[in-house]
Amino acid sequence: MSLTLQQALMEGTSRLREAGIETARLDAGILLVHVLGQDREILYRAPEQELSSEELDRFRQLIDRRVDREPVSHLIGRREFWSREFHVDSRVLDPRPDSETLIAAALEFAAGQGPVEKILDLGTGSGCLLLTLLAELPGTTGTGVDISAEALEVTRKNVALLGLEARTTLLQGRWFEPVTGQFDLVISNPPYIETDDIARLQEEVRRFEPLGALDGGPDGLDCYRKIIGQLKSYLADRGMVIFEVGAGQADDVGELLSSAGFTTIRVHDDLSGIGRCVSA
């Protein structure tokens, strides 16, 4: 039996709702529109249109995977960050709206104290931070480092998607290990979840995102210590570093920076009012 778009939407929504997914209606709509390869407005323009049996099968399979807690971004293969689409899958951490705080802080620096020409991103993952900055700041070049070769395959896709090949260098290795030279801006959103808290993360994150991008050691601060320990020789005079930090970590990371001799330490709040980034 075939279903209309509206019937399929209702079926998908109720299955997701029964599975306890709060954004059931929204998710079902996104997945349906994805299967149809159409814009969202089709749901309003042609709710009586019938799905082909192949479309209905694919839609039901996606709903099954969503019931199993796979993130919507992985099911459709992309996620928006700072108004651009990024390819994402389980090889990288999903771009999160909180990380846009780092973009705002970096753009403010580039427009004010600047100038920013060379940018280094440690633990680049999807590349959403580095590539957004390169796209927003036309005169810049960027280096993205990641320990995961798999993650860098995703970064490379996004470099191509945004047409930034000529201005981007990608290096595999641990933090500064493969890096040479000095940078005006060093950014990083390193793993910062305390190891004991990993088990308490929501299922979508814990089961489908790379743990290597989340686990920050016993107190969540391991990566900041490692990076800050070597940072001086890679940061240009009057350059700036910006870290994303977990809720409640801003003061600790600020102290690590000040003990290492960094000045003008500032905390940048996210839209929920949580200290989300620390710059120095």
Annotated binding-site members for substrate: 189-192
Q: Is 96 in the site for ligand GLN (CB under 6 A)?
A: yes
Q: Is 193 in the site for ligand GLN (CB under 6 A)?
A: yes
Q: Which stretch binds ligand GLN (CB under 6 A): 48-56, 149-157, 187-195, 262-270?
A: 187-195
Q: Least separation, in Å, of the C-beta of 148 and ligand GLN? A: 14
Q: Which stretch binds ligand GLN (CB under 6 A): 78-86, 178-186, 189-197, 258-266?
A: 189-197
Q: Which stretch binds ligand GLN (CB under 6 A): 104-112, 175-183, 191-199, 231-239?
A: 191-199
Question: What's the rounded Cα separation, in Å, for the pair 1 and 207?
Answer: 34
Assigned token pair, 220: 């969540």
Longest dimension (CA), the chain: 69
Q: Is 191 in the site for ligand GLN (CB under 6 A)?
A: yes
Is residue 220 within 8 Å of 249, Cβ to Cβ? yes
Q: Is 16 in the site for ligand GLN (CB under 6 A)?
A: no
Closer of 13 and 249 to ligand GLN (Cβ): 249
Q: Which stretch binds ligand GLN (CB under 6 A): 43-51, 68-76, 190-198, 228-236?
A: 190-198
Q: Is 192 in the site for ligand GLN (CB under 6 A)?
A: yes
Closer of 12 and 123 to ligand GLN (Cβ): 123
Q: Which residue is nearest to ligand GLN (CB)?
A: 192
Burial string for 33-72 (b: 16+ CB within 10 Å, else e) reads bbbbeeeeeebeeeeeeebeeebbebbbebbebbeebbbb
Binding mask 206-235 for ligand GLN (x = CB under 6 A): --------x---------------------
Residues that bind ligand GLN (CB under 6 A): 96, 189-193, 205, 214
